[in-house]
Structure 1
């Protein structure tokens, strides 16, 4: 079923600094949207408002027909909005399968259903052979795959990825890009924040460039990257 996430005229001030100024954006199922901008541009604040970590001073956020502007993080997760942090968040002392079990057992599933779901997700993300292994022994790319598999235990509609390519080697970047495209093809909507154009442009359908708290440009990647204002204010000559 098609799902849509809409942010309308979001505004947020921290003291005297206006971090986000009347930003509107949207994403539908099966699309990948990039939010680009230099450090301090406001993209992280926008990201956190979508998640519910920061409440906007004004504006609205909707998932489908339901307003979620003031909905807490855990309820947004139950409503299909999940998040992958920039820093690794797996439980390194647990086995790979127990990282998933820890989440699934919080829901009303039978033991058989839990085991079946774990096997399904580990197989889907190429981790089945590591099921009994301690998570700390995984490579960087394998840990990222486990984090995404754990998010998928919630059966989300939208995934928010905060600089998912940060701190990983080029092979892992390619691996994560492939996972994102597979998730997109399975109907998920994905929002990625980054400050690096090269790593994000191959993966997204559209880009929002944030500059001084406002949307500087919004379009398909090739058009955004050739926008004179984007070149002048973000990419450089």
Structure 2
């Protein structure tokens, strides 16, 4: 299979991630606190994400998950606590400085430039890398092919479907070669078929040794792609563990998932093989 396809992980890709684990970076928060007036919405929240894994931040409305997520991205300044990228403290860094350090961010809202073509959207980020033009154009073609954007590469941002827009946004984010990507509601505003497409993309990102922190109200689809998840409730972490552990925990079911929740797992590795065969990507 061609290695430049994000939808087709190989055993070599998986092995490379396992080898990289020894020297991987960790993005972590320690004791995050956020107050609005006299109300504490986040109270001593700590979590971590390693390169090559997908971690979810979950919780009902008002639990503090979105605030915790935005403090990690740099959109909200915490009243207390610390955020580290490896040994580097990034608590005071704004979003753009965190991006330079290796923390990419994809907003829930459409972030493509609506009046620019898909390829110009990606090039606009590549041009900020300061790398030679030849490299930029080669990287552009690689990302266009990788995310199956060939048919819409000349289309303007406001002509894209929800799934095409998400693929363009992720391709553009990868142009800066981030070590971590913060995904805010990646399944919002896309149809059910596109949700599975986006899941496949996100699942595959970890095989590029990219750490993913994801928050989304679609709990079932989120748990399907996460390696671990943190459940926030009333500003604190109520539970942390694997999706399977969350799905059967009685407290998690009582406070968040509901008694009838059943986690139906998808086999993304098998799906990748089927897609690769369907699209004729096998050499």
TM band (smaller chain): over 0.9
Tell me, yes or no, if structure 1 residue 24 matches structure 2 residue 34.
no
Deviation for aligned residue 1:211: 0.4
Corresponding residue SS for 1:113: helix
Which residues in structure 2 correspond to 1:20-169 (within 5 Å)?
Answer: 20-169=42-191
Structure 1 residue runs of 5 or longer lacking an equivalent are none
Q: CA RMSD in A?
A: 1.2
Which of the residues 180, 184, 203 maps onto 2:202? 180
User: Aligned partners of 2:226, 2:87: CA distance in 1, in Å?
Assistant: 25
Deviation for aligned residue 1:178: 0.2
Which of the residues 244, 248, 251 maps onto 1:226? 248
Deviation for aligned residue 1:6: 0.9
Q: Report the equivalent of 1:197.
A: 219
Q: Report the equivalent of 1:8.
A: 30
Structure 2 residue runs of 5 or longer lacking an equivalent are 1-22, 260-283
* More helix by percentage: 2
* More strand by percentage: 1
For normalisation by structure 1, the TM-score amounts to: 0.96
Per-residue deviation, residues 2-51 of structure 1 (Å, max 9, x unmatched) = 11101111111111211100011001011000111111110111111111
Tell me, yes or no, if structure 1 residue 217 matches structure 2 residue 226.
no
Deviation for aligned residue 1:120: 1.0
Deviation for aligned residue 1:115: 1.1
CA contact (8 A) 2:28 2:46 kept: yes
Corresponding residue SS for 2:75: coil
**Number of aligned residue pairs:** 237
Q: Which consecutive aligned stretches of 4+ in structure 1 deviate over 6 angstroms post-superposition?
A: none
